[in-house]
Structure 1
Amino acid sequence: MKFFGIILGILVILSWIFVIKEYQSGNKEKTKTKNMILIAFLLTLIMTIMQLFY
């Protein structure tokens, strides 16, 4: 389970870095950016819930 947590943590970090990079580029209204924000939020939520139980 720790391996899954590490991989999930890396994915969360990478997704939020991508979101920050897109916002700095001025691509706030693109569908790709909105989908990436949703994915980053869901990954963060999953990681938080996983940490509560393990």
Structure 2
Amino acid sequence: MPLEAGLLEILACPACHAPLRDETSADTPELVCTSQDCGLAYPVRDEIPVLLVDEARRPA
């Protein structure tokens, strides 16, 4: 189930404060930072975004 649109509008990347975009797929639900310099991908577990830099996936 995707995140509510209102929630996504108020969330920001904890590392750089840029907006996040929903990159949810069947296998890996994630919120990805829109900043070109940062680009961290935060996991969504049980429909709850885990916005911890230590839990984020670095861009490839």
**TM bucket by the smaller chain?**
under 0.3
Report the TM-score, using the length of structure 1 for normalisation: 0.22
Q: Which structure has more strand as a fraction of its residues?
A: 2
Larger Rg belongs to = 1
Report the TM-score, using the length of structure 2 for normalisation: 0.21
Q: Which structure has more helix as a fraction of its residues?
A: 1
